[in-house]
């Protein structure tokens, strides 16, 4: 099992309940592909570096998890088509 971090940028135009549902869906995807969520770090509303879909602000979430090496590709393919997710990035964390 390797350690990964999934960064998710969620639209600021949606309600709190919808935003929480998006993050829960991401966590459910991780667990569906055999991963275990170790930490969810919510950074809150931040200004974007550049305008995306006519938005200047969005909510940032960082989900740390452990999974097999095949899981991140599957998770990314599902997150890519999720509504209200503006950007995402899944990276492998160093074992140090």
- Range(s) of the domain holding residue 40: 2-92
Q: How many structural domains does the chain have?
A: 1
pLDDT tens for residues 11-38?
A: 999 999 999 999 999 999 999 999 999 9
3-state secondary structure of 33: coil
pLDDT tens for residues 2-14?
A: 999 999 999 999 9
Q: What is the pLDDT of residue 86?
A: 94
Question: CB–CB of 79/88 below 8 Å?
Answer: yes
């Amino acid at each position: 099992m390797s350690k990964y971090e999934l960064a998710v940028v969620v639209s600021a135009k949606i309600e709190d309940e919808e935003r929480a549902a998006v993050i829960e869906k991401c966590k459910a995807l991780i667990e569906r592909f055999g991963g275990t969520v170790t930490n969810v770090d919510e950074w809150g509303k931040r200004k974007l570096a550049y305008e995306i879909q006519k938005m200047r602000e969005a909510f940032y979430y960082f989900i740390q998890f452990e999974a097999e090496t095949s899981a991140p590709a599957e998770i990314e393919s599902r997150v890519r088509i999720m509504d209200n997710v503006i950007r995402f990035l899944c990276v492998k964390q160093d074992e140090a």
